[in-house]
Every structure is written in structure tokens, then in C-alpha cells.
Structure 1
């Protein structure tokens, strides 16, 4: 999966195969821009601070967020230093074009979170974790076999489930699949470690689940339709559902974990309904289209239930916007499921 997706994002236009929330409506990026401004204020208005997006796609989310920040939160916009985590040279060019007229802040690109300069940070990651490579293990008796690909077909080999992984104690039935995504766990652990050094917050938005679940979630999209993930490696987008339960359990102690909550609830808390009607009144000819886009983002039978949002924070005065409360914890500030 790692090599296939690297080739895919380097040489293909992923947005021909799927559409992300920022491409559906400007409201998504605007609401996240407003979220950044409130978080910045609750962090004590640090100047400077790093605004970071991981996996920025076409740059649409950040461009919409920047337009709002320039208009309604100029002090926050002035204090920010804009950093994008993107490994594809082609997508970096697309992002630069999208941001050219959206912000007066210089943009820096990095291949890894560790390359972002030190300092207080607010990070956004929309549909970033789902594209990271997974491993699949199949329960066989009291042990496991690992599912892998050889010569264009799935094969199995005896293997041990990764020791210490948060999901290793789940009662997976015989013959069922348990997935791991070590790059996602590594990213979140690095993010949490940084938040222990510097104050900051993050919003991780992706489709996935927040329960001790299992099952095969690997899927491929080509030309907007599901396809065989083994056909034409590098020509289709490969994704897997994000295990938010495992993500929360991998956050370093001392970092606050918020949620996860559904995307619909998160956007509602940020004021999606009010922004929808504001735009509809300003453009009555497009009012139906604007409302339909909001429904697509937030309705339970659309993206609103399938996508989830998890927050991380440190050094925050008050609650993290968009969340009703911290994840049930063990008293040390670390989110811990029970």
C-alpha cells in the first residue's frame, strides 16, 4: 500500500477519483479557519505560532481558511507562520497556486512534521491518516497470520501481531481481520510529543471508527468508483478506515484528547447552520446548492456520520472548540479508553 499510494499521489490527480469536504463547500475551510482563530486565542495569542496542515490536497481547505482569517481575525493571521506537510512536488505546486491570492503569509513546505520549526502550533489534518499504509492480520486460533501481496494476489504468512499495539487485546473472531497503521500511530505520537514541548492543538478529521472494532476496510477508488485494490498498483487511491480508538491510546500522557466526535456534530458546534444561511441569503440564486452542500458535509447519512474528528491540545485555556468535553481519561490528561 505504501509504494502504490506514493506512486499514485506523485503521478495522478487524486481528485479525479474522490472529492474531499473542502472541495464540496467553502464553508468547511472557513469553519476550520474560525476554529484556528478561537484556538489561538485560548492558547494565549502566541506570536508567532505555526499553522500547519498535514496532507493539504489541492490547498482548498487552507485557502478558504486563510481568506476568513484575513477578514475576521487579522491579528491571528498576522501572527501565523504557514507550513504544509506534503511530499508530492506536483501537489506542492497545486497548493502554491491555490494559496497565492488567499494569504499574505509566506508558505513553507515540509516532508515531515519533524521539519516544522519549533514553537506553538495549530495543526489541521483532513483525510491524511486514511492514506497511510496499513497491515492486516487474520486471526487463526490463538495466533495470527499476516495478509500481504505477492505477484498480484493476497497471500498469508505466519506472523505475530505487533507487540504493545493498542488493539492487540481485542477479541477478534476466528478468520476475521485486524488492521494496524503504524505510520498513523507514529505521526500522532510525534504530534503529541511536540505538544508536550510547546503549547498547541490539532484537529484530525477522517473517516473511521471509535470502538474496539475489526474487519477489512481496505478499499481502492479509480475514476470515482470502487475497484480491485490489486489491479494497476499506483493508478488508484488506496485508503483504509482510521482506528480512532487506537489513535487515542497512542497519544503521550499529558496531552489532552478530545472526542472523537462525528463530523456532523463538530461542524454543527462550529456554526455550520448559521454560516449556511448567511451564504444563502447573500446568494439567493445558489441557496439550494449551498444548503445541499451543507447537508452533504453534515447529514448522518452522508459525510456527517462516516467522518469523525479527534482533537489534541496542550496549554489550552478552556475547552477545545467543537468538542463537548475531554475523552474519558485516567486523571493524567491522557485520553484513555476503557
Structure 2
């Protein structure tokens, strides 16, 4: 891996894309004693294929967020959820419909019945899988990117490594495990998780094998403790200190920072707008008037405050063609707020941020979707029991960084395939396959394809069902970086 790191650093000085990073081309360059053997994402250190190999036919590619299923709030609909009752009570209390953004925020993060708050929703046994669940290689490549950025930062003596919405902690565990041998880097890290879910914080502590400082497992944090009351934790994977926060503003300032936001932005609440003869009106959620008393979408009778503020700002950045053709627009004010905060932190403290999510390099139209048990559902069905997510508007994020003008710049977006390819994922695959069993090789190849491929798997025969395996995520998912201007373009984002 030392060869890999040197090659990755050299890549930013090489104008030819063919000079890709060679990742772990020999066992002598491994990042840890088990780095050239597929590792499990369970707490046990025994070698095993990625957990995503389990029941691959159940995996849903969350990038396909169109063709919304029919809304089923009539006869035969599912039992009304506690969240549905809460939403209807909220609407009646307000005396009218609520915004889509308010609906999303309640459904996903309400302390009592929010989708993310009280359970594990990730993996093949949950509602959806993410790239770290698919293969250990994803977290390892992000670790390589972080090390390269650290070198570009001038190898500072202390670094805040922040992950926004860390899920089960799988990405961070793979990152720490893959970089643990590089003490110059790994011992400089202090890990900060921005996580509001008590259930997920518990899983993250287990995934990172955290114990209270000093190694006393008896004082390990309990489920009901808030982030502020949790004693300092140490990850036994690398020895890094780990702490939890409710939002990014709580993470200490004044230290160079590397921020990771993987599938974080897609769950931030959005406002939806629709062009009508009376102007741009906002899409709202109301109680249905029929006997089912379910939920329904309605349009505001006239432009709302949100359309005057958020939509007007977004339309300033739109091209003339977009303004003429688009009929529906999604705007995410929280994404703009978080991006501005990231840009300010990176510009003032140094470092950079990596944003990986599904989205478009253009204005987003109508992408909001619900996912429950690996199946698409209508966004108003079973609120609180299904995930809600939308495409990320990458051009809007870049405009926010430009407007901030705080000593930071945005690069990209590039496809996930381009990003992982520049970091050498193909060579990492070769190294893992070399010491793998036949079953592990199959799982690794499938995971590799899911991360970098595009469309149906290329090994399917004419008679095979194209839906029998999930499509590749390599083109749908994009990577955007925000870095301090002193760093220059990071690995994979150089102008060719």
C-alpha cells in the first residue's frame, strides 16, 4: 500500500489518465495483516466475503428513483402507522397542509417514530444497502483518498475525520482498518460521527469496536446516553478517538478537517415546486378528503415563501434551457446550509470534504422516492416504515461553494466509477482475489461490478433475467469534493 500511496500522490502531477494508482499489487504492500484477504463487516476479524454477497437479488439500487408506485391509501391499504397518525394530527393542528420538507423531516428523524431513529435499516436484512455494505473496497478507497489529501494538506499533526450520517459505521471501520498500518496518518486522526439516531450510534460503537478510554469495556457507552454524555471512546481497530455529535456545528473547530458524506445528502428534506398557470407553486402534503382519510399531495394556491426564497435562488443558477423546459424542481435548503458550513470550515481550518451520492450534474426535477424492504413504495404509504430520499443537486452545491468565497473550491462531480478507478480499485480487487476462495472471488467480482459498473451485469446470458442482479452503481452515483485552495485538485479530480 506504500507503493499505492506514492502512486496516488504522483497521479495529481500526471496529465495522463492511464497512470492510475496501483493498489496493493503485492501482499508485501498490504495495509494490514489481513488486507489482501476479503474481510467481513461483522465484529469478528475472520476473513470472509463482503456481506453484500448475501441474497444479492434482494438489493435495490437506490439510484433509480423514478416511476413512483401507485399510492395505496384506499381499501386494502396497509395498517395506519403511528407516524401517519402524527402527520395527520400535525396537519390538522396547523390548519392546513405541510411542506414536503416538513413531511420528510418528521418521517425520517422524529425522535419517537422516525425511520432512522430506533432501528437498523441498512444491509440485506434492512431496507436498503449502501456501497460500504457491498464491498470493503469502497471504504478502503475512501481511506486512500483521505491519506492522499492529508499529504496535500502538508501532513498536519492532528486531523478531525468527520463522517456525516455514518450508517452502521462500516465505511469508517474499513477506512480505519485499511490505513491502520500507516501510523504517520492513522495516529493523527480523531473520528467524529454526526449522528442523531441512538440505535445507529450503538451499532457504530460495535462496528468500530469502541471501548471507553483506557480499555475498560464495563464503562462503554450505553444506548440511552446522549452524545454529550458518552465518555471518550477509543476504536480498537486503529486506536483512534471517536466521539458523536448531533450536527456538524458541534464538532470542534480550529483543526484541519477531512469530511466524508456518503449517502447523507439524499435524505435531507427537500421542497418540491411545480410550474402552473398561476406561477411556481409548492407541492404540499395534506389529509385526503375521501373516506380512507389517508394522505395526499396538493399544490399551494399561490407561490409560497419557500418558492420565493429557495426556488428563486436556485433558478438564478439555472441555464436558459433549463428555465424554459423544466416543469418540476426540487430544492434542498439544508443541503445548501450544510455545504456552506463545510466550505467555511474547510476554507478556514484546512482540509477537504468528499460527497458521494446519487444525483445529476443538472437541476433535479422529480426524484423523491420511498423504499421499504428493498422495494420502491409510494412516499405517502407507511410513513415512518419506509426510507425517503431524493437525487442530489450537485450543481447547486458547487454554486454554494462559489458564493461562499472562503478559500475553498469544489471539484467534480465525477462518476463513482471514475473516482474509484483513479484510486486503484481494480488493483485492490486483483490483490484480494489472489488470496480468496472461489466463493469469495465470486462475491468480490459482484461487489466490484456493483460499485463501478453501469447497467446490467455483463456476464448475464440472453436468457437470463436482467433484474436477477442489481445494476451497477458506477455511473448513477457521483463524487464531489470541496477542498482548501492551498491543496489544489485532489486525486481523481485533476483537469486532464
Matching residue of 2:335: 184
Distance 2:127 2:118 in 1: 13
Kindly name which structure, 1 or 2, has the bigger radius of gyration based on alpha carbons. Answer: 2
Matching residue of 1:336: none
Which secondary structure does the structure 1 equivalent of 2:155 belong to?
Answer: coil
Which of residues 140, 152, 159 in structure 1 aligns to 2:303?
159
Matching residue of 2:158: 48
- What is the TM-score with the length of structure 1 in the denominator? 0.92
Matching residue of 1:91: 200
Which secondary structure does the structure 2 equivalent of 1:11 belong to?
Answer: coil
Which secondary structure does the structure 1 equivalent of 2:454 belong to?
Answer: coil
Distance 2:373 2:337 in 1: 31
Matching residue of 1:333: none
| 1:256 Cα offset (Å) | 1.3
| 1:41 Cα offset (Å) | 1.1
Judged with a 3 Å threshold, the aligned counterparts in structure 2 of structure 1 residues 38 and 293 are, in CA distance, closer, same or farther, namely: same
Alignment of 1:177-326 (within 5 A): 177-211=328-362, 213-251=363-401, 252-253=404-405, 254-285=407-438, 286-301=440-455, 302-325=472-495
| 1:162 Cα offset (Å) | 3.9
Distance 2:325 2:184 in 1: 57
Matched, 1:77 2:182: no
Matched, 1:8 2:162: no
Distance 2:203 2:449 in 1: 28
| 1:13 Cα offset (Å) | 2.5
> Is 1:176–1:214's contact at 8 Å kept on the other side of the alignment?
no
| 1:147 Cα offset (Å) | 0.2
- What is the TM-score with the length of structure 2 in the denominator? 0.63
Matching residue of 2:128: 18
| 1:5 Cα offset (Å) | 1.0
Distance 1:290 1:189 in 2: 38
| 1:319 Cα offset (Å) | 2.7
Judged with a 3 Å threshold, the aligned counterparts in structure 2 of structure 1 residues 233 and 282 are, in CA distance, closer, same or farther, namely: same
Distance 1:256 1:262 in 2: 18
Distance 1:174 1:310 in 2: 26
Q: Which runs of 5+ in 2 are unaligned?
A: 1-103, 210-235, 288-294, 456-471
Moved over 3 A (4+): 167-175, 315-318
**Which range moved further: 59-68 or 189-198?**
189-198
Q: Deviations over 1:255-304 (max 9, x none)?
A: 11110000000000010100011100011422222112111100122110
| 1:49 Cα offset (Å) | 1.0
Which secondary structure does the structure 2 equivalent of 1:56 belong to?
Answer: coil
Q: Which runs of 5+ in 1 are unaligned?
A: 327-338
Alignment of 1:25-40 (within 5 A): 25-40=135-150
| 1:103 Cα offset (Å) | 2.6
Distance 2:444 2:351 in 1: 33
Return the structure number with greater strand share: 1
Distance 2:164 2:399 in 1: 21
> Is 1:85–1:111's contact at 8 Å kept on the other side of the alignment?
yes
Which secondary structure does the structure 2 equivalent of 1:189 belong to?
Answer: helix
Distance 2:196 2:168 in 1: 13
| 1:168 Cα offset (Å) | 4.6
| 1:54 Cα offset (Å) | 0.5
